Structures are given as structure tokens and as C-alpha cells.
Amino acid sequence: MYRYDEIDREVLADRVAEFREQCDRRLSGAMTEDQFKPLRLMNGLYLQLHAYMLRVAIPYGALNSAQLRVLANIARTYDRGYGHFTTRTNIQFHWIKLRDAPDILRDLAEVGLHAIQTSGNCIRNLTADPHAGATADEVDDPRIWAEAIRQWSTFHPEFSYLPRKFKIAVTAAAKDRAAIRIYDVGLRLHRDADDALSFEVRVGGGLGRLPHLSPVIRERLPVRHLLSYMQAILRVYNRHGRRDNIHKARIKILVASLGAAEFARQVEAEWELTDKAAIDLPPTELARIRATFARTGFETLPAISTVFEAAKADDRAFARFARNNVMPHKQPGYALVNVSLKAIGETPGDASAEQMEVVADLAERFSLDEARVTYEQNLLLPHVRLDDLPEVHRVLAAAGLATPNITLISDIIACPGLDYCALANARAIPIAQDIARRFADPALAERVGELKIKISGCINACGHHHVGHIGILGVDKKGEEFYQLTLGGSAEADAALGHVLGPALAADRVAPAIDQIVEVYLRERRDGERFIDTFNRAGLAPFKEVVYAPAH
């Protein structure tokens, strides 16, 4: 993992000192709320329904055990004992006191964490493939490039006041586990026949009121020019993005209105004039960053573990966990272990301080001191020996972290919604809880197979509802919580936006409607089809018919 050096640490220390002073000025009344609000937002501190919320960045979702322990400690000391992992692989603490915020930032800085650029119209926290460094299907480690962008974008003087927020995702694998097509910039690494690395650059994806999937604006960008090309993209956007209408200010609108080809032409023209050597990282710095991600701790192990095979044969619960939550690793004898934050009836993405500590201990003992956050609001232990899986499972299960439901119907994404969020129209969490309870039987969930439900409490789409196989959007209908269903979305390589099923449903109709939709799918599906395949073949009609059938 990347390790902060003296320079990185001093940047954080300077920032913490600055924010402490700003907080003091606000608390003493020397500053008004209007003056203070943009400053606290730049440090990730929002005022939500019940209290302040602090959003801590977890760059490209990578954590070590010391960092997880500090997050747990913050949850316990300054909050009410839990935190919420988000689709942006950040963690949010919901019950923060302003007067504690400088101390929290100081604690975070001690382990190289911060809340910088987790709000505001700037370049936000990066996301990357959570399987980075562990999966066989990647051509390079995307975290190297994500870290390069993280540093370059931190306090970028030209791009701190963009027309709107700006989010970047990076992957190096064939399978898209970072939802790159719904990002402002989505980067996919390629390795060409001659071994040269390049990026496929997509620009202009995003959800919200006007959802777009991003088009490619450059097929092959030599990796060494990543930062100068990013500067060119951002400069075209900063100069020409709309600032007159907040709903049209994201880069997706600029790209859509110019057309991808014209936008690409403007970027290329800007890039042509850029002094690339001044902006791009020198090979020495890239090598330094690359070295911090090099994994050396792997043992040479047989590809088949007799311990693992025997445990699967003996223990059905473990076998189910292995089927659903354990994924293949590039290193023989190792596996990736998904830690489900979707226990039936619990809040999706929430983890208690104790749970964070359990994962920290497991990361330290069994996963080369690494854990990851996925955009699907789960955690992941990336480097576990097959021999250790039974023990890891036992510890996770005891902590309520081993629900065997990764990518299944109860692995639901839900934003905080009206239970916490000041912008919400409706609650998202209770809807997720209702649905999950209906599919609590793991055998039933497995029979239904891969089915991704994503719930947002308002059109801002933090819960990615547009790209859920089933998307659920909270709306306000004459003052009551209603929910609009969409079917057929996907955030992966086959990215698609969902189709509206019909008029919004009252809260107590949502979970029954999901039941009906699943029944139709089970009836209609052909051999081997996932829900999304059946939907793509059969279309909306059979689902619509059942959900909106007149009541008997």
C-alpha cells in the first residue's frame, strides 16, 4: 500500500492546523455560518438532519489495519459507535460535533487519512477496482495511477472551484468493478502487444437528474501522459462547463452538448499546447509510487488447499460462504474474501466500531495488512490464504460479517436517505431492510442468483439506482414517501440505464413488488440466465403486467 512520506504528512498537518483555526473562529463568533460553511465543507463536514456528518476519504478504497482501527476509534469516541461506508468508498460518521472535528482530523492524519475534497466542486476522492493487486485479470495495478492522480488533484489551485464536483474511477481489469462508465472520468488500463501501457479515457458519465454513460474520448493515451491529459480535460471543463444552472453543470452535460468528438477535439487542442514535461510525473516518482504497491509477502503455496476443500465438504454454511463471498486470487493458494456489510435486517454499508476492529485484526493476521472498501458498500480482505479461510469465516460469522450474499438480492446498495440526509425525499434504509428480510433464506437468495438492487433517497442517485438491475428511487408524492422502480440497469461492462417500470409505489408496496418481479423472473428465465439477461430478452412488459395488475 502507499505509505505517506514526510511531505504527505506535513501537507495533512498544515491542513489540520488551518481547520482548527477556522473552527475556533467560527465557534467564537468571529465568522458567520455563511463564511464558514464553504470552509467546513472543504473538510468534509456537512450539517445533516440530526447532527454534523463527517465524510472521510478512503482513496481508491484501500485501508490497512491501523487506519481501520482509527476509524473504529473515531466511531466509538466521537460518534455513536458506527460508521457508514458509501458507494464512493468513503466512510461517513453521522453524529459528529463541530467542536470535535479538528481533533478527529488530527487522529485521521496520524494514519494518513483525511476528509480533504470529500465535498465541494473539486476533484473528489478517487475510486479504483477493489480487487487491484489481487486479481489475475488486470494488466497493471490501477492504484499506482489512482495515487498519482490523488496527489496531483490534492489542493489543485486551478481546479478547486470547478462548475461542479468531479469524480474519477480507474480500473485495469476486463471486468468493471469500479463502475467507471458512471464517472466524470473513467480510466481503463490496456497493455498492448508490445507491452506498452495506455489508458482508454472516458469522459462524461454520471447519474443524478440527467444520467449519462460516458463515451470514449481517447482510445490509447500513453500512461506517462496521464496527468497532463487530465489537466487538459479539466481545463476545458473549467473554462466551458455551465455555471448558470446547477443541474447542467456536470461535465456530462458539456460532453453531451458538444458531442464526444468535439469535446475530444478541444481536449486534444488544449493538450497539444500543454507543457507536458512540467506536469507529467517523472519516471522516478512513478517508480517510487509503484514500489509502494509491490506485494512481496506471498508464500509459494499449492493451488489447491486440502484444509479449504475439507471445510467446504464438512460445513454447508462455510461452503455457501465460499461460493458467494470468496473470489479467485492471482496468487496460487490465496483468495479474496468479501466481508458483507449487508446482514439481513441491518443498514446496508454500516459497520460498528467492533466490526471494524474485527476486520482490522483479520487484515493484519490473514491479509497482508490490507482491507478494501467496495462501491457496493462491502469490505474485502484481498490476500487470504485458502488454508486460513475457515478461520477467517468463523471470525467474520461471529461478528455478523459473513452473510453469504455478495451480488445476490440481499446485497442491496442503499444511500442514507431521509433517515439522515438533508436532501432526501424518502427513506432508503427501511426499504432495503424490508426487501432483504424477504430473501433472508440463503438458499432462496442463491436460487434467484445475481440481482443487484440499488436504492437512492432522491434523484442525486448516491445509491446508483439508475444502474441497478432493479433501481428504486425515493420520490415525494403529495407529501408522502413513494418509490419509483426501474429495471434493467447495470454499472458494469454492459452498463445501461434502467427503464421506468411504471407509476411510483407507496412504501409498503415496494417489497411486495420486488417479490412479484422475482417471481416473474423465476418463471420466465431460461437456462443460466441472470435476472438482467431475462430482462434484456423479455423486456418490461411481463414485469409491469404483474406489478400493476389490478388488485383482486
Partner 1 sequence: MKALTANRLADGEVVFWTGDVWSERFVDSRLFDDNAEAEAAEAHAKSNIVELVDPYLIDVAAVDGGVVPVSYRERLRALGPTNKPDHGKQAVGGADTALLATAHGAARSKGRVDLIRRK
Partner 2 sequence: MPRLIRWRDGAAAWGEDALTAVDDDQPVPHGDVLVSLALFQRERRSLLGQGRNLGVIMGPTDEPESLVVDLPGLSVVALTFPKFRDGRAYSAARVLRERLGFKGELRAVGDVLLDMSVPLIRCGFDAFVPADASVPEQWTASASRFRHVYQRAADGRPPAFAERNDLSAVRV
245 binds partner 1 (CB under 8 A): no
Name the 3-class secondary structure at 533: helix
d(CA 21, CA 10): 17
Place of cell 462547463: 241
Give the x-and-dash track for 96-125 against partner 2 (CB under 8 A). -------------------------x----
Instruction: Please report, for the chain, how many H helices and E strands are present, in that order.
Output: 19, 21
What count of Cα atoms within 13 Å lies in the side-chain half-sphere of residue 355? 24
Residue type, 462: C
Among 424, 472, 514, 532, binds ligand SF4 (CB under 6 A): 424
Strand positions, DSSP E, 172-309: 185-191, 197-203, 216-222
491 binds ligand SF4 (CB under 6 A): no
By beta-carbon proximity to ligand SF4, the closer residue of 423 and 440 is 423
155 binds, among partner 2, ligand SF4, partner 1, none (CB under 5 to 8 A by kind): partner 2
454 binds partner 1 (CB under 8 A): no
543 binds partner 1 (CB under 8 A): no
Q: Which stretch binds ligand SF4 (CB under 6 A): 168-176, 268-276, 355-363, 421-429?
A: 421-429
Strand positions, DSSP E, 210-368: 216-222, 326-328, 334-339, 350-352
Among 460, 502, 538, 542, binds ligand SF4 (CB under 6 A): 460
497: left (phi over 0), alpha (psi -120 to 50) or beta: beta
244 binds partner 1 (CB under 8 A): no
461 binds ligand SF4 (CB under 6 A): yes
Which cell goes with 145?
Answer: 495511477
425 binds partner 1 (CB under 8 A): yes
Residue type, 494: D
463 binds, among partner 1, partner 2, ligand SF4, none (CB under 5 to 8 A by kind): ligand SF4
Which cell goes with 475?
Answer: 420520490
By beta-carbon proximity to ligand SF4, the closer residue of 120 and 416 is 416
Q: Which residues lie closer than 8 Å to 260 by C-beta, 6 or more apart?
A: 203, 204, 215, 216, 217
Among 189, 289, 462, 504, binds ligand SF4 (CB under 6 A): 462
Q: Which stretch binds partner 1 (CB under 8 A): 26-34, 65-73, 329-337, 435-443?
A: 26-34
Give the x-and-dash track for 274-293 against partner 2 (CB under 8 A). -x--xx-xx-xx--x-----
* # of chain residues touching ligand SF4 (CB under 6 A): 13
Place of cell 474519477: 168
421 binds ligand SF4 (CB under 6 A): yes
Name the 3-class secondary structure at 106: helix
Contact by Cβ (8 Å): 518, 530:
no
Q: Which residues lie closer than 8 Å to 102 by C-beta, 6 or more apart?
A: 16, 19, 20, 23
462 binds, among ligand SF4, partner 1, partner 2, none (CB under 5 to 8 A by kind): ligand SF4
**3-state helix/strand/coil string of 382-448:** EEEEHHHHHHHHHHHHHCCCCCCCCCCCCCCEECCHHHCCCCCCCCCHHHHHHHHHHCCCHHHHHHH
Q: Which stretch binds partner 1 (CB under 8 A): 12-20, 154-162, 425-433, 514-522?
A: 425-433
Q: Which residues lie closer than 8 Å to 28 by C-beta, 6 or more apart?
A: none
Given the rule CB under 8 A, which residues bind partner 2? 5, 7-8, 10-11, 14-15, 17-18, 38-39, 121, 151-162, 227, 235, 238-239, 243, 273, 275, 278-279, 281-282, 284-285, 288
Given the rule CB under 6 A, which residues bind ligand SF4? 415-417, 421, 423-424, 456-458, 460-463
Given the rule CB under 8 A, which residues bind partner 1? 26-29, 32-33, 47-52, 80, 94-99, 347, 418-420, 424-427, 429-430, 433, 476, 478-481
